[in-house]
Amino acid sequence: MPSVDELEKEVDRLHNELEMRGANSRGVKDIFGRTFPFPVNSEHKATVFFPILWTVKKPHMRTFWAATAGFFCTFFSCFAPGAIGSYIKRPAPEGLGLSKLELSDAGNYAVTGTILMRIITGPMCDKIGARKTFIFLLLLGVPGMIMMIFAQSSGVYLWARVLIGLSLATFVTCQVWCSQFFDRKVVGTANATAGGWGNVGGGFTLLLMPQLMKGLLDANAGNPDQISLSWRQCFILPIVMHLASAFFIWTGSDLPDGSYKDLETSGAKQKSKSAANVALIGFTNLNAWILLIGYAFCFGVELTMNNKLVNYFERYYAIPNQTAGPLGASFSLMNLFARSWGGILSDYMATKKGLPGRISAMWVCQVFEGIFCIVLGLITQQYDSPDEIKFHGAPLVNSTWSDAYGQEFLFTQSALGVSPCESDLVRSPSHGWMNGVWTMVPVPVNTLIVVKDPAPTCVHAQGTLPATLVCVILFSIFVQMSEGLHFGIVPYVSRPALGVVSGMVGAGGNAGALIAGKFIVGAGNNGPLDDGFIRLGAFIIGFAMLFFFIYFPESGGMVLPKGLKYDPQLVKPAADQKGSDELDFTNTKSTETVTSSV
């Protein structure tokens, strides 16, 4: 007959088996007596992720899906103007008459304005909670979209994009909120999946906005303001998305057991320290600064490519907007799985090598990211592009050529001349060459056509598009994996300043987008984009070397052994100082005296 000890071991084994499948077989309750639907640790954070992924039960998975949806919406809205930029930049009254430089600068500033906002968001998460901060940021972006609808000048367009871009600080709230609901052994996967599926909003906007624009053009056919009215109406969709997501997030909770206020009243949560105190701890951690720089050259690279790729395919490969949008979206769509791969790899390496394993995996992926960025530029560097310095000031090209299917036309009128190797979307005139024959019947008004120089030395005549697409996809996979790997480490940097560190690292991504987009890759008329890709790849590999200096005294680093006197935390938190998500249920007040405000 089995002994009591043997029976207890068997019961524990059965409990562990059920918990691995996502069941709270031990019946653990929160501070208010509500049974959690999933297995949790001593701080009531979920200990599993994939077995419970496809549920929306409170509190853990409601938080995951709300955080994902909220971040998705802000990514969608931030890059929506760029997805239909070829319409918005057209001369008035159809568009706002934006130059290529103004269009490029607006894209750069859209992801730059949120640098400060992400830094501010970190302390807000520690002080009032990620959920309330999330709602604030979503609502902050709505006025920018309203400004976009009514914009009549390039200045208003620029400020609208900056205001919408501020809502991208929701990345910080997304990562902090998920970190507060999932155990450390799965937090890398949870953070990476939420962040990746949120980032994919940048891909979906490149897929959907051009098609929405096309549908609205058809619906507004016959209206003299057809084009202007259609691109303005497109921004109603992201407004609705922001409002719906804010409501969804409102239905969640600050922490697994409830609101900050109730948990502080019960004694389970330490009252939040001053924002200045928490910020000082976060900003004086050297590991946080290295991760900030590293994130600048993975997430910052993603933002840069989201702003550059559609224009790159339109101009270098003479592809219309409706096709260039989906091709450009291929980069962001890798977020559907690649960022999660980074989180899974981070958690796996932690089981093998601890924190040094997480850091090593991050370094390897970031180096491969830089390699594929360089290869992307090398594919087309040997061929002429519209941005070649030698073409600056060259005479315009005019031709009577058209393709075999009558889908693309070139005109002899001087007004329709383009720079050598140029590709641009223009409004057709009343007559033109179609299928090699001069057509006296007017070409339909407002027909969008592709004008391109058929010179055999140009990129769009070389058949390199398939190789470029393959390289873009591989490049993107390592970018997204690097992002996931960064936020597999962030929760370990400083628990008392989790929000601040998350905000710092997130802000680094946007700072990287400004640096890469404006000064490394550069605006389209400052030099060939493919040369810029090669420079960017070299910077990515160079700054990845900083990862060798990430060090945790209790775990070590990639090459440095643990136990050294060196401590990257320069200003130490108080001995009893806890993080905003660090709960202690041993001395809580009776739950009968606490009213939940969740």
For the stretch 40-52, pLDDT in tens is 998 899 999 999 9
Cβ(97)–Cβ(157) below 8 Å: no
Prediction pTM value? 0.82
As a whole number, mean pLDDT of residues 29-37 equals 92
Query: What is 100-149 written as a DSSP string?
Result: HHHHHHHHHHHTTTHHHHHHHHHHHHHHH-HHHHHHHHHHHHHHHHHHHH
Given a cut of 70, is residue 27 above it in pLDDT?
yes
Which tokens go with 372?
């594929």
Which tokens go with 356?
């040094």
Query: Within a 10 A sphere around the Cβ of 6, how many other Cβ atoms?
Result: 10
3-state secondary structure of 258: strand
| pLDDT for the residue 418 | 66
| pLDDT for the residue 404 | 40
Query: Within a 10 A sphere around the Cβ of 145, how many other Cβ atoms?
Result: 24
Band (589; pLDDT cuts 50, 70, 90): low
Band (587; pLDDT cuts 50, 70, 90): low
Burial class of residue 469, CB neighbours in 10 A (0-12, 13-18, 19+): middle
Question: For the ranges 125-139, 287-301, 433-447, which has the lowest average pLDDT?
Answer: 433-447
Question: For the ranges 133-147, 300-314, 533-547, which has the lowest average pLDDT?
Answer: 300-314
As a whole number, mean pLDDT of residues 50-74 equals 96
Band (579; pLDDT cuts 50, 70, 90): confident
Band (322; pLDDT cuts 50, 70, 90): confident
Cα–Cα dist 257/247, whole Å = 20
Range from 6-15, 79-88, 155-164, 384-393 that averages highest in pLDDT: 155-164
Cβ(43)–Cβ(37) below 8 Å: no
As a whole number, mean pLDDT of residues 83-112 equals 84
Q: Identity (one letter) of the amino acid at 427?
A: R
Given a cut of 80, is residue 412 above it in pLDDT?
no
| pLDDT for the residue 382 | 92
Band (571; pLDDT cuts 50, 70, 90): very high
As a whole number, mean pLDDT of residues 76-81 equals 92
Given a cut of 70, is residue 565 above it in pLDDT?
yes
Band (275; pLDDT cuts 50, 70, 90): confident
3-state secondary structure of 151: coil
Task: Tally the C-alpha atoms within 13 A of residue 496's C-alpha that lie toward its C-beta.
Answer: 25
For the chain, how many residues are written?
Answer: 598
Cβ(200)–Cβ(480) below 8 Å: no
DSSP H or E stretch at residue 205: helix 201-219
Residue 269 has phi, psi (to 5 degrees) of -115, 135
Band (594; pLDDT cuts 50, 70, 90): very low
User: How high does pLDDT run on average in the chain?
Assistant: 86
Distances (CA, A) of 489 to 354, 357, 377: 11, 10, 31
As a whole number, mean pLDDT of residues 523-546 equals 87
Residue 552 has phi, psi (to 5 degrees) of -120, 120
Question: For the ranges 48-62, 316-330, 334-348, 359-373, which has the lowest average pLDDT?
Answer: 316-330
Cα–Cα dist 436/426, whole Å = 19
| pLDDT for the residue 1 | 66
Band (153; pLDDT cuts 50, 70, 90): very high
Q: Which domains does the chain have, with CATH numbers?
A: 60-383+463-557 (1.20.1250.20), 386-457 (no CATH)
